[in-house]
Amino acid sequence: MSSFISESVVPLRLPYDHKPLSEQFQVKWTPTLITLDADGKEHHRTVGFLPPEELIPSLLLGRAKLDFDLDDFESAIKILEKIVSDHSKSDSAPEAIYLLGVSRYKSTHEAKPLKDAYEKLQAEYPDSEWTKRAYPYRLL
């Protein structure tokens, strides 16, 4: 776990009452983990304890969302595919499938990846909120 963090992110640890950053980022509870890009812009946040099997996919999802937000869909797709293949039982997996469909759509302008995402979510994560969010894509 430590090596994964050291290799994949720049770790920054701050007390919950740090001034001015706790107010700037509106931190209300701990632990709060926020993924920032090199300009300090937030892309992903979790609040509350995450066990190791959830932390790694959550950190990967943060990196993928950063790449997605910066329109680097190729990089986002690679990371999201890793979450789906290596961390399929994690809570991050359904969101990764959803975002993978959107990233593929944005990089190809074809609707099929969106429908594929819905069908995979419906089959494997029928109770996920991400399955509900993908529901309209069944009609594509």
Binding site for other proteins (CB under 8 A): 1-2, 5-6, 8-16, 18, 21-22, 25, 27, 30-40, 43, 55, 59, 62-63, 66
Q: Rounded to the nearest whole angstrom, what is the least distance from the CB of residue 121 to other proteins in the complex?
A: 26
Q: Rounded to the nearest whole angstrom, what is the least distance from the CB of residue 9 to other proteins in the complex?
A: 4
Q: Which two tokens stand for residue 75?
A: 């990089």
Q: Which two tokens stand for residue 108?
A: 């190809």
- Tell me whether residue 40 or residue 126 sits nearer to other proteins (CB atom): 40
- Tell me whether residue 12 or residue 123 sits nearer to other proteins (CB atom): 12
Q: Which two tokens stand for residue 58?
A: 């959550």
Q: Rounded to the nearest whole angstrom, what is the least distance from the CB of residue 29 to other proteins in the complex?
A: 9
- Tell me whether residue 46 or residue 131 sits nearer to other proteins (CB atom): 46
Q: Rounded to the nearest whole angstrom, what is the least distance from the CB of residue 46 to other proteins in the complex?
A: 10
- Tell me whether residue 31 or residue 136 sits nearer to other proteins (CB atom): 31
How many Å is the Cα radius of gyration of the chain? 16
CB under 8 A, 24+ apart: contacts of 97-104: 97/121, 97/125, 97/130, 98/130, 98/133, 98/134, 99/61, 99/64, 99/65, 99/68, 101/134, 101/137, 102/68, 103/68, 103/73, 103/76, 103/77, 104/73, 104/77
